């Protein structure tokens, strides 16, 4: 508001456009691994550890019927598997297959590589600042762990 003109991009527009950018990069990377964006996201969530359908739905913010389908399709690719929960015969634990785990690692690494390059016009200090500010926004808004933090892996 303080800045003079239409030259300056507000925080809202910056957020929306950077979102568009990351979406595009993410979807493109997924595609090159034979995945959809949603399947890639599923793999990245499951890298941390297996999840029940319930939790998974909360993390991905999907209705249970939507998630059921996503897991079906990803399982059909052999990347993910439903295991029965011994302590509750209704429940199911969704986890990566060995092949899914391998693919997830690759996809995750490649995606990181590409997204890492997006702020290549910033110097180290600026990147740190950006990371810290965005991280606070993410934390304040309780965004679920849709993308691993390094060293978080089980």
57 close to 76: Cβ distance less than 8 angstroms:
no
Residue 83 CB, shortest distance to a second copy, in Å, is 26
**Position among 23, 54, 58, 106 found at the interface with a second copy (CB under 8 A):** 23
Residues 44-83 that bind a second copy (CB under 8 A): 61
Residues 56-95 that bind DNA (CB under 7 A): 61-73, 76, 82, 85, 88-93
Region from 47-55, 77-85, 91-99, 116-124 binding a second copy, contact rule CB under 8 A: 116-124
What are the start-end ranges of the E strands in the chain? 51-52, 80-84, 92-96
Among DNA, a second copy, none, partner that 116 touches (CB below 5 to 8 angstroms by kind):
a second copy
Cβ atoms within 10 Å of 33's Cβ, excluding its own: 15
Contacts of 26 (CB under 8 A, 6+ apart): 37, 40, 41, 111, 115
């Amino acid at each position: 508001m303080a800045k003079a003109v239409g030259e300056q991009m507000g925080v809202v527009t910056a957020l929306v456009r950077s979102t568009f950018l990351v979406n595009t990069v993410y979807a493109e990377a997924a595609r090159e691994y034979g995945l959809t964006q949603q399947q890639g996201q599923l793999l990245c969530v499951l890298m941390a550890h297996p999840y029940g359908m319930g939790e998974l739905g909360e993390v991905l913010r999907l209705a249970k019927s939507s998630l059921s389908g996503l897991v079906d399709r990803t399982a059909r690719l052999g990347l993910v598997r439903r295991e029965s929960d011994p302590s509750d015969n209704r429940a199911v634990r969704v986890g990566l297959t060995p092949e899914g785990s391998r693919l997830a690692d690759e996809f995750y690494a490649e995606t990181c590589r590409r997204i890492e390059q997006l702020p290549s016009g910033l110097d180290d200090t600026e990147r740190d600042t950006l990371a810290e500010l965005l991280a606070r926004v993410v934390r304040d808004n309780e965004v679920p762990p849709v993308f691993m933090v390094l060293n978080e892996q089980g």
